[in-house]
């Protein structure tokens, strides 16, 4: 699968770190794909921090993009990595092949299944039948799925993004990058980072997009993404001049 092909089936959405915009990017891809006529499901394998009472990530995606299906496989109260959260709460950790089966079940009924990870690529998500921890990277390998890497726009992103892409390449997982929050008033560092990320870039979502009216969000999302993610952004030079 190349960066120019439209991505179908299970697609992992991971990040270079936590709080980089994975949920809003997931919503943007879901909105663009549905606008293109696809049946879209969004799956969150492990949701943590539910004790706060705030909406979960699938709830946020549903509000913004209204995918055909939204599903959370396991929820834990503490805002920790899913495996750590399961242990602290003394709840069963998510088993890798149960997650794989659930995602493949949705793939049988949908054209695109967006699977949003937790934190970065190698965060422990749950346990294998052997008792060994598994990560989002392991999930991508098990599913044979490509990965969208959500990255920051500012200082430090080149190193974090390169490390994440290298880890995926070593596992033969195709990957592209989406900037999770492109600033309203970008500075030199943002433009220089953009130019470095450009060979792998699949989109750039504006900062604050998650606070948009859902109707505006859905109409705008295709303009933030390249055709591989069902957007219409095909000229970065023209985009930069807007």
Binding site, annotated residues for Mg(2+): 23, 57, 116
Contact 111, 33 (CB under 8 A): yes
* Structure letter (DSSP) for residue 33: H
Place of tokens 């602290």: 88
Contact 141, 173 (CB under 8 A): yes
How many CB atoms are located within 10 Å of the residue 216 CB? Answer: 11
Contact 129, 95 (CB under 8 A): yes
**What are the DSSP calls for 38-76, one per residue?**
--EEEEEEEEE-GGG-PPPHHHHHHHHH--SEEEEEEEE
Terminal Cα-to-Cα distance of the chain (whole angstroms): 30
* Structure letter (DSSP) for residue 204: E
> Annotated binding site for substrate, which residues?
48
Phi, psi of 212 (to 5 degrees): -70, 155
CA angle 163, 165, 168 (to 5 degrees): 110
What are the residue numbers of the active site? 44
> What residues contact 197, with CB distance under 8 A and at least 6 apart?
151, 157, 158, 161, 177, 179
> Annotated binding site, which residues?
19-24, 48, 57, 116-119
């Amino acid at each position: 699968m190349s960066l120019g092909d439209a991505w179908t089936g299970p697609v992992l959405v991971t990040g270079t770190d936590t709080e980089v915009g994975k949920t809003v990017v997931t919503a943007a891809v879901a909105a663009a794909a549905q606008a293109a006529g696809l049946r879209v499901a969004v799956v969150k394998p492990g949701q943590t921090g539910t004790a706060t009472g705030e909406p979960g990530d699938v709830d946020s995606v549903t509000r913004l993009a209204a995918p055909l299906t939204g599903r959370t496989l396991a929820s834990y109260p503490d805002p920790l990595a899913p495996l750590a959260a399961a242990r602290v709460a003394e709840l069963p950790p998510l088993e890798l092949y149960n997650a794989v089966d659930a995602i493949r079940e949705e793939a049988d009924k949908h054209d695109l299944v967006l699977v949003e990870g937790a934190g970065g690529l190698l965060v422990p998500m749950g346990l294998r039948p052997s008792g060994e921890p598994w990560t989002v990277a392991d999930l991508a390998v098990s599913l044979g799925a490509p990965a969208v890497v959500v990255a920051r726009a500012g200082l430090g992103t080149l190193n974090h993004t390169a490390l994440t892409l290298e880890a995926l390449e070593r596992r033969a997982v195709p990957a592209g990058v989406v900037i999770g929050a492109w600033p309203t008033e970008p500075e030199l560092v943002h433009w220089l980072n953009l130019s470095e990320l450009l060979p792998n870039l699949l989109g750039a979502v504006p900062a604050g997009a998650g606070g948009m009216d859902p109707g505006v969000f859905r109409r705008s999302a295709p303009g933030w993404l390249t055709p591989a993610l069902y957007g219409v952004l095909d000229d970065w030079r023209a985009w930069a001049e807007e």
